[in-house]
Amino acid sequence: MTGSLAFRLPKAELHLHIEGTFEPDLIFELAERNGIALPYASVEALRAAYEFTDLGSFLKLYYAAMNVLRTEADFTELANEYLAVAHSQGLVHAEIFFDPQAHTSRGVPFRTVIDGLWSAVQNSASHYGVTTKLIMCFLRDAGPRAALATLEEALPFGDRIVAVGLDSAEVGYPPDAFADVFARARAAGWRAVAHAGEEGPPAYVWAALDRLGVSRIDHGVRSLEDPLLVDRLRAERIPLTVCPLSNVKLRVVDSLAAHPLKRMLDAGLLVTVNSDDPAYFGGYVGENFAAVADALDLSDADLVRLARNSFEASFLSAGERAAYLARVDAAAAAVPER
Ligand code: ADE
Ligand code: ZN
């Protein structure tokens, strides 16, 4: 029963890089449409390269594939494909990351990116039954000056963006350097999130909370190494957007069976399950739910809690959140006890 519940439960996804939903078929299609040669002979050859040793080895391929995203329509199509697939696995709300610097740095205007994504986001409720918000991430390895310039470029589009985030290579790039940029973003009315504690130490999670003023931590799995940090995260109900299949693919954990998700739940942390970069890591949000249910022997009650957490941790209004939570409870009640 748990397997089907993993897909049927209404879910929000809070940790999803839209560029990480770029499936090999679409990469090839857009490369051809835009007249760009790929260094891979076929879709199969590209897929065969998806063997990662760490975050860095993944990011190299992730940024290289993006090179074929050029037009507004490309970004719209990318987002639409994600929404269709994820909705088929129970997704009803998505807070979607995008990496503008990965596009502006190669000559694609910020407006092309935001207009393309906005077109998909605006239609997502009517086309796919999925409500959406956009989160603009800064690339931490590009430094705070580039982040500030990106923030300035984004401010005129303020009403299309709910929050800023921080992603890309983590170790060696602690959050502290971005304190001013995040303060400006929050002063402009945006919320803040940051990747921390994926490969980096618990100190990066503390810094994201204390220096950046984030309301969620993305990944945060290494927080368990610091009992004081666990106490703080639990006491303040700070959500951790965990990505199980990603953690296995990027070797943050040895196997799904060794994943700390269940321990995090048992420690009373507000954890959610997300797909991160599903085209690269072997599964969308429902597949992540199903995989952890199986590997960690989660109960139906655990899955319902994870689905509820996904809305509790979202940036939805209180009214929207309550309506989604009622949908989760109705779906859970329709399932016989195991
Ligand atoms: N960008 C896309 N996926 C990422 C991840 N898992 N960690 C950091 N930056 C990312
Ligand atoms: Zn991520």
pLDDT digits (tens, 9 = 90+) for 176-194: 999 999 999 999 999 999 9
Q: Among residues 108, 109, 117, 123, which one has the least CA distance to residue 136?
A: 117
Ligand with minimal distance to 250 CA = 1
pLDDT tens-digit series, residues 33-68: 999 999 999 999 999 999 999 999 999 999 999 999
Q: What is the CATH number of the domain that holds 134?
A: 3.20.20.140
Q: Does residue 336 have a pLDDT over 90?
A: no
**Residue ranges in the chain assigned as alpha helix (H):** 2-8, 24-33, 43-48, 55-66, 72-87, 101-104, 110-128, 143-154, 179-187, 202-212, 227-235, 244-249, 261-266, 278-281, 285-295, 300-312, 318-333
Instruction: With respect to residue 335, please indicate whether it lies within any of the assigned structural domains.
Output: no
Q: Ligand 1: distance of its center to the CA of 276 in Å?
A: 7
Catalytic residue chosen out of the listed positions 72, 81, 170, 198: 198
- pLDDT tens across 151-168, in order? 999 999 999 999 999 999
Does residue 1 have a pLDDT over 80? no
- C-beta of residue 284 within 8 angstroms of C-beta of residue 275: yes
For residue 338, tell me if it sits in a domain.
no
- The tally of CA atoms less than 13 A away on the side-chain side of residue 333 is 6
pLDDT at residue 294 is higher than 50: yes
Q: Is residue 334 a part of any domain in this protein?
A: no
The partner residues of 218 in beta bridges, in order of sequence, read 195, 241
Taking the centre of ligand 1 as the mean of its atom positions, its distance from the CA of residue 152, in whole angstroms, is 23
Q: Which ligand is nearest to the CA of 252?
A: 1
In sequence order, the 6+-apart residues with CB closer than 8 A to the CB of 60 are none
Concatenate the DSSP letters of all residues of 211-235 into one string: HH--SEEEE-GGGGG-HHHHHHHHH
Q: Please name the residue whose Cα sits nearest to atom 8 of ligand 1.
A: 168
Of 17, 21, 221, 245, which is best to mutate to test ligand 1, by the most ligand atoms within 8 angstroms of its C-beta?
A: 17
Is-catalytic flag, 19?
A: no
Answer whether 0.75 is exceeded by the pTM: yes
Could you give the number of structural domains in the chain? Answer: 1
Return the number of other C-beta atoms located less than 10 Å from residue 146's C-beta. 16
Mutate to test the pocket of ligand 1, among 243, 249, 276 (most ligand atoms within 8 A of CB): 276
Distance 246 CA to ligand 2 centre (A): 8
Residue with tokens 């260094």: 39
Q: Which phi and psi (to 5°) does residue 207 adopt?
A: -65, -40
Instruction: Using the predicted structure, report yes or no on whether residue 310 has a pLDDT greater than 60.
Output: yes
Pick from 195, 219, 253 the residue to mutate for probing ligand 1's pocket: most ligand atoms within 8 Å of its CB: 195
- At residue 311, the pLDDT reads 99
Residue located nearest, by CA, to atom 9 of ligand 1: 168
Distance, CA 168 to ligand 1 centroid (Å)? Answer: 5
| Whole-number pLDDT of residue 181 | 98
Tens of pLDDT, residue by residue over 220-244, are: 999 999 999 999 999 999 999 999 9
Q: Is residue 266 part of a domain?
A: yes
pLDDT band at 3 (very low <50, low <70, confident <90, very high): low
- Please give the distance of CA 222 from its chain centroid, rounded to a whole number: 17
User: Could you tell me the residue range of the domain that residue 62 belongs to?
Assistant: 2-328
Percentage of residues of the chain with pLDDT beyond 90? 98
